[in-house]
Amino acid sequence: MSSQVRRISWLTLSFMMVAAVASIRSLPTMAVYGLGSVFLYLLPAVVFFIPVALVAAELGTGWNGGMYGWVKQAFGDKLGFWAIWYQWIQVVVWYPIVLAFAADTFAFLINPDLAKNGLFTAVVIIVLYWISTFIALNGLNSLSKLSSWFMIAGTLFPAAVLILLGIAWLLTGHKSEAPLSLGALIPDIFKSTSTIVAGHHREASDFWKSFEGLLGGLVLLVGNFLAFAGIEMNAIHARSLSNPQKQMPKAIALAALLTVLIFVPPTLAISFVVPSTDTSLTAGVMQAYSEFFQRFNMMWAIKTMAVLLIFGALGGVLTWTAGPSAGLLMVGRAGMLPPWWQKTNSKGVQQNILFVQAALVTVLAFFYVIIPNVSAAFWMLSAIAAQIYLVIYIFMFRSALKLRKTQPHVKRGFVCPAIEFWSVLGIISSALALLLGFVPPTQYSSMSPVLYVGIMLAGLILFAIPPFLFYANRKREWQVIPPEEAAKNTAPLQDLVPAPVEAGSTSSDVQVN
């Protein structure tokens, strides 16, 4: 590895992974299951988070270009372009989910009833996202500084406060709304006779009763896969470790532990004070703060916490606003997108792609107007975003397996032990979650199951079509960077031998077997 590479400690990398994944916005979804939420968080961590982290670490220390570079090296230009486009679209669909949380938090500042108003939610989403877009247009420096501070003030601090309030609640003798028995560690959804999905206890009828018990529990787990998504974004930094082979597993283990700690204790704190039947998917965190502060005579703190949570949501959006779109610009300049998509401003920021993002988020925000139930709209967007990401992850795992065979001469900074096991586990988990994502939750009991599945399939297919159309109609003049530079963007980081070595050699291919 070049001595010019900037070194980072494994602790720093671990914290970066946590920052990319952990968020308290999704906690209310699991809070209705009390102690059962521990299981609902741990299972995705083991069968999804760890495989993604290990496999992405090998790919990120072997090739440039992130997801685009990995898929391109394994399956060619067309699928590489599709991968980065799909990843970009997934993030676009994800923005309204995060900002809906901010909208309902903002409602607590002025009128809590507005949390149930779809038009109010849509307007706040649109305003906040356009603010983040204009911040992103000012360049990476202002973006990174603001997102870091917003993450600390709006995510880490509020999570710590929730944990402390939950502990204080129990120590002062208050009754927990959630059962605290040993049997409560098994989620109700796996033993209930009714379908309980997406954070609401409701009796199912007719067709919906077929989705009870174990299947209903598995459907719920799909939503939690997305809670652990995004760790691959920081895998490329593994090559900056002084000893990736030894330090990367430690960084991943600590990140997994910290992420679970950020998810589980605050979730339990919410379950202590908010009855499961009253928990809102988007406003549940503020419900918990309100109850805590009211009982502890700290009502003055509610508005302060609401403002911090809004900053936290905005910080999460800022972190992702420029990243995937910058990758799309790189691919576009290599000849995959028309010149209009490649336009940048005076600071080199991909302005037209950011404007397209903002326009799409504006359209998606009106889901909250079209679908009367705000929680139902939240769930549908979450499900589509999760489905898209799961497809991408399946290709990431397949790419890792193929590159082990087709490019053994590439030196990996970190070699994933038992990569076949972790990749196959990741593929199976992602594929199962993908299929279960088509099972409708009870919010849609009035909707035809066929219509629900049709909407989900339409979302997956329609969002995937544009890159293939662009690729089929690409023109020579679209490529504005030399072929050598385009190839370098996805090339191996340390291709130590120009061709696969012969059998019996002791060269670098031995390191990946």
Statement: residue 345 has pLDDT above 80:
yes
Q: Stretch 332-347: mean pLDDT, rounded? A: 92
At 238 the pLDDT is 64
Q: Stretch 393-405: mean pLDDT, rounded? A: 96
Alpha-carbon distance of 197 to 194, in angstroms, equals: 10
Q: Label residue 142 by pLDDT band (50, 70, 90).
A: low
% of residues, the chain, pLDDT over 70:
78
Q: Stretch 471-492: mean pLDDT, rounded? A: 87
Q: Considering only 217-231, 314-328, 444-458, which range has the smallest mean pLDDT? A: 217-231
Q: What is the pLDDT of residues 150-180, one digit of tens each?
A: 777 888 888 889 999 999 999 988 888 888 8
Higher pLDDT, 498 or 418: 418
Alpha-carbon distance of 195 to 398, in angstroms, equals: 34
Beta bridge partners of 63: 492
At 71 the pLDDT is 94
Tell me the C-alpha to C-alpha distance, in Å, between residue 297 and each of 163, 208, 275, 279.
18, 44, 20, 22
At 137 the pLDDT is 86
pTM, entire model: 0.79
Backbone angles phi, psi at 410, to 5 degrees: -80, 125
At 376 the pLDDT is 66
Alpha-carbon distance of 424 to 422, in angstroms, equals: 6
At 335 the pLDDT is 92
At 486 the pLDDT is 82
43, 217 contact by CB (below 8 A)? no
- Taking residue 315's Cβ as centre, other Cβ atoms within 10 Å add up to 23
- Dump the DSSP string for 252-321: HHHHHHHHHHHHHHHHHHHHHHS-GGG--TTTHHHHHHHHHHHHTT-TTHHHHHHHHHHHHHHHHHHHHH
Statement: residue 1 has pLDDT above 80:
no
* Average of per-residue pLDDT values in the chain: 79
Statement: residue 100 has pLDDT above 60:
yes
Q: Label residue 134 by pLDDT band (50, 70, 90).
A: confident
Alpha-carbon distance of 66 to 85, in angstroms, equals: 12
Largest CA distance in the chain: 74
Statement: residue 23 has pLDDT above 80:
no
- Taking residue 506's Cβ as centre, other Cβ atoms within 10 Å add up to 7
At 503 the pLDDT is 44
Determine which helix (DSSP H) or strand (DSSP E) holds 87, and give its type and residue range.
helix 77-110
Alpha-carbon distance of 7 to 200, in angstroms, equals: 47
